[in-house]
Amino acid sequence: MAHSGVHKDRGELRIHENLDELGTDLAEYIAELSEASVKERGVFTIAISGGSLIGLMGRLCEAPYNKTVDWAKWYIFWADERVVAKTHADSNYKLAKDGLLSKVPVLPSHVNSINDSVSAEEAADDYEFHVRQLVKTRTINVSDISDCPKFDLILLGMGPDGHVASLFPNHPVLDEKDEWVTFITDSPKSPPERITFTLPVINSASNVAVVVTGESKAEAVHLATDDVGADCLSLPARLVRPVRGKLVWFLDKLAASKLDGSQFSE
């Protein structure tokens, strides 16, 4: 790793020389969390997003992780999903299935995808209901400070505008306090209809990792993590602040190129 540092309440920043190094570190981080969760609770509940994240998780399908990870204990969820058919090229489920889930022995019954045959609103309600059932049985842990689900790990990407999951800048869903899963029909990034975990759920997780690469995101990384003016406080990525959990940023050098830098050690 080129640099790493802890930036007060903005979490740990891990900056990598290149995508290869990032992918190796990310796979090791996920495998370690999986092992710890399985040891402690017998399961590993992981929520993923779409975008470049899935490709960057690819090392998990290779040795040693394809054999050493206890895949049968994984329960997979989506922090956000596009409301399209699961066979559609835009589906985050399809992306994960093709790039990851079809290559490792995850149990199909542990893959918790959305109902793709209903409206965005119904899909969000349905997904929240499903998550509630799994919280009731404690497959998903529960937060000790709210009634929110406490996923073992939520993996997020970030857009150049600072969005995470399907929480976009200045969107009213950023203020959602009651729902666990909500929907939007006006996503500025295509496709427009999506469901998404809300901030209270993201911030109740045991671990949240934000994986960001490329120069186009350098300014948003700076605004999300450095000490900046009050105007940036509502940037969605900056609102990711696990209350009791741990936040880690996986960055490549380009995404980290506009950071202040004072917080790092070689």
Q: Is 149 in the site for ligand 6PG (CB under 6 A)?
A: no
Output 65-71 pairs: Cβ under 8 A, ≥24 positions apart.
Answer: 65/27, 65/31, 66/103, 66/104, 68/31, 69/31, 69/34, 69/35, 69/104, 70/34, 70/35, 70/38, 70/44, 71/104, 71/105, 71/106, 71/107
Q: Which is nearer to ligand 6PG, 43 or 47 (CB)?
A: 47
Contact segment (CB under 6 A) with ligand 6PG among 34-42, 64-72, 130-138, 162-170 equals 162-170
Q: Which is nearer to ligand 6PG, 165 or 173 (CB)?
A: 165
* Rounded least distance, CB 54 to ligand 6PG, Å: 9
Q: Can residue 94 be called a binding residue for ligand 6PG (CB under 6 A)?
A: no
165 Cβ neighbours under 8 A, 6+ residues apart: 49, 79, 80, 156, 196, 197, 202
User: What tokens were used for 231?
Assistant: 């105007």
* Helix, coil or strand: residue 196: strand
At 13 the three-state DSSP class reads strand
Contact call for residue 199 and ligand 6PG (CB under 6 A): no
Nearest to 152 by CA among 207, 216, 78, 84: 207
How does DSSP classify residue 225?
H
In angstroms, what is the minimal distance from the CB of 207 to ligand 6PG? 17
- Provide, rounded to whole angstroms, the least separation between the CB of residue 93 and ligand 6PG: 10
* 159 vs 245 by CB, closer to ligand 6PG: 159
Q: How many binding residues for ligand 6PG (CB under 6 A)?
A: 15
Q: Of the candidates 82, 94, 110, 150, which one interacts with ligand 6PG according to CB under 6 A?
A: 82
35/121 with CB nearer ligand 6PG: 121
80 sits near ligand 6PG (criterion: CB under 6 A): yes
Taking CB under 6 A as the rule, does residue 246 contact ligand 6PG? no
Q: Is 52 in the site for ligand 6PG (CB under 6 A)?
A: yes
Contacts of 220 (CB under 8 A, 6+ apart): 158, 159, 160, 161, 162, 212, 235, 237
Q: Does 86 bind ligand 6PG (CB under 6 A)?
A: no
Query: Cβ closer to ligand 6PG: 49 or 73?
Result: 49
Q: Which stretch binds ligand 6PG (CB under 6 A): 23-31, 69-77, 161-169, 219-227?
A: 161-169
Interface pick for ligand 6PG out of 4, 34, 45, 92 (rule CB under 6 A):
92
Q: Which residues contact 157 (CB under 8 A, 6 or more apart)?
A: 49, 50, 51, 52, 53, 164, 210, 211, 212
Residues that bind ligand 6PG (CB under 6 A): 49-53, 80, 82, 92, 157-159, 163-165, 189
